[in-house]
Amino acid sequence: MTAHFDTIILGAGAAGMMCAAHAGGRTLILDHAKAPGEKIRISGGGRCNFTNLHSAPDRFLSQNPHFAKSALARYTQWDFIDLVDRHHIPWHEKTLGQLFCDTSAKDIIAMLVSEMRDAGADLRLSTALTSLDKTPDGWRATLSTGETVTSRAFVVACGGKSIPKMGATGFGYEIAQRFGHEIVETRPALVPLTFSGEIQEGFKALSGVATPVIATAGTGQFEEAMLFTHRGLSGPAILQISSYWAEGEPITVNLLPGQNALETLQSLRKSHARKAPATALAEHIPARLADHLAPTLGLDGQMADQPDRALRPAAEALGAWQLTPSGSEGYRTAEVTLGGVSTDGVNAKTMESKTTPGLYFVGEVVDVTGWLGGYNFQWAWSSGWAAGQAIEAQRRG
Ligand code: FDA
């Protein structure tokens, strides 16, 4: 027997569940995982950074920087905060507008499951799609349970490639390509950067050291903490610029944010005249980092011995340290996937395919990637809501 639904949603993650809560009519939401919202559960260290007070289109990367504007403007961070408040979920702002649950990310999953239940959506877990075909008035799908289901709308909400061990498959891109969509080249983003050779050896000794920096790559620049690891660099500043970094290109790190590096060294020359450069530098950067860098700065003897002509290149090195990563930690640890279904083929207001009516793309599978700090969930809520609204409006006709 074939069951008919108004909408089938593939993926019970953030975007799929939001869409299911708003699509109206009979909705089937499928996921091959055993539980819904597994990435929500592990996000934000288990407390889910569910949105950002400063969410705005300029905090998202896409080949078309205008694409995300409509959905983000129609379902905003304030709308999501309202929803969280209606469910009496306690939350707090951690830093830089980032909102986290006070108790657990599971509160957000429970909220979405309850919203879906209220909307009458049918959630099927541990269920995969085995075939999908276009019919004259919609879609016919077969499921791993052996059932055949049909629908008018089909929503691809199966996320990106990040963290394969949590069920990420890239299957959404295959569906998109099958129905004529272009895929903007995908790569891991919000990911630690790795280094090789001597640089990596040096970083090993610094593993665990964190320091505030301004990190720059391409057009991205972020003032936040940087962390040395055994394999390279991490911390929010580095995760942020990883989205802007292109393979083979250097990144630039200012180790003295908010300071004029030359003036800082000149003033250390006065205040720490009889001290070694590493000791003096430790006033401004962690001592282990100062010890590591001092021999590379060309400053011999004590601070008092350093003429301006020696301080200038040292200041340049501290204020604009250039490093070329050998790669990144990859999808294994990346928080998101950059690129995805090209926005050229998707209606920005409804998330519906321009070439295949009744096919929708929401969340991370689309070529829209947010900054670190709750922006990616906001995109999932906004795009899931936009598709849900559009499906409901069409159904009501
Ligand atoms: P999502 O990945 O959430 O959901 C896709 C669903 O589809 C999954 O349930 C998956 O099992 C299912 N699926 C995939 N292929 C399938 C198939 N073939 N058949 C059936 N089902 C399939 N963002 C943020 O804003 N704040 C934060 O705090 C964090 N923290 C964070 C931590 C970590 C460790 C990661 C990896 C990521 C984050 N993120 C984040 C990013 C955020 O999790 C991500 O952007 C959203 O979950 C994307 O939502 P989607 O619904 O698009 O995909």
Q: What is the pLDDT of residue 108?
A: 98
Question: Is the CB of residue 65 less than 8 Å from the CB of residue 114?
Answer: no
117 Cβ contact partners less than 8 Å away, ≥ 6 residues apart: none
Q: Which residues contact 201 (CB under 8 A, 6 or more apart)?
A: none
Cα separation of 157 and 129, whole Å? Answer: 13
**What is the Å distance from ligand 1's center to 54 Cα?**
21
* Predicted local distance difference test score (pLDDT) of residue 184: 98
- Quote the ligand 1 centre to 377 CA distance (angstroms): 9
Ligand 1 binding pocket includes 129 (Cβ within 6 Å): yes
The three-state secondary structure class of 113 is helix
Distance 56 CA to ligand 1 centre (A): 21
What local confidence, expressed as pLDDT, does residue 164 receive?
A: 87
Q: What are phi and psi of 29, to 5 degrees?
A: -120, 125
pLDDT (tens digit, 0 to 9) for every residue of the chain, 397 residues total?
Answer: 799 999 999 999 999 999 999 999 999 999 999 999 999 999 999 999 999 999 999 999 999 999 999 999 999 999 999 999 999 999 999 999 999 999 999 999 999 999 999 999 999 999 999 999 999 999 999 999 999 999 999 999 999 999 888 888 899 999 999 999 999 999 999 999 999 999 999 899 999 999 999 999 999 999 999 999 999 999 999 999 999 999 999 999 999 999 999 999 999 999 999 999 999 999 999 999 999 999 999 988 999 999 999 999 999 999 999 999 999 999 999 999 999 999 999 999 999 999 999 999 999 999 999 999 999 999 999 999 999 999 999 999 8
How far apart, in whole angstroms, are the C-alpha atoms of residue 218 and residue 61?
12
Phi and psi at residue 27, to the nearest 5°: -120, 135
Ligand 1, atom 16: nearest CA belongs to which residue?
158
- State in Å: Cα 347 to ligand 1 middle: 22
AA letter at 61: L
Count Cα atoms within 13 angstroms, Cβ side, for 22.
23
Is the model's pTM score more than 0.95?
A: yes
Name which of 393, 293, 306 is nearest 352 in CA terms: 393
How many CB atoms within 10 Å of residue 164? 12
Write out the two tokens for 310.
Answer: 């020696």
Q: How many CB atoms lie within 10 A of CB 292?
A: 18
The whole-angstrom separation of Cα 217 and Cα 238 is 9
Q: Looking at ligand 1, which residue's alpha carbon is closest to its atom 29?
A: 43
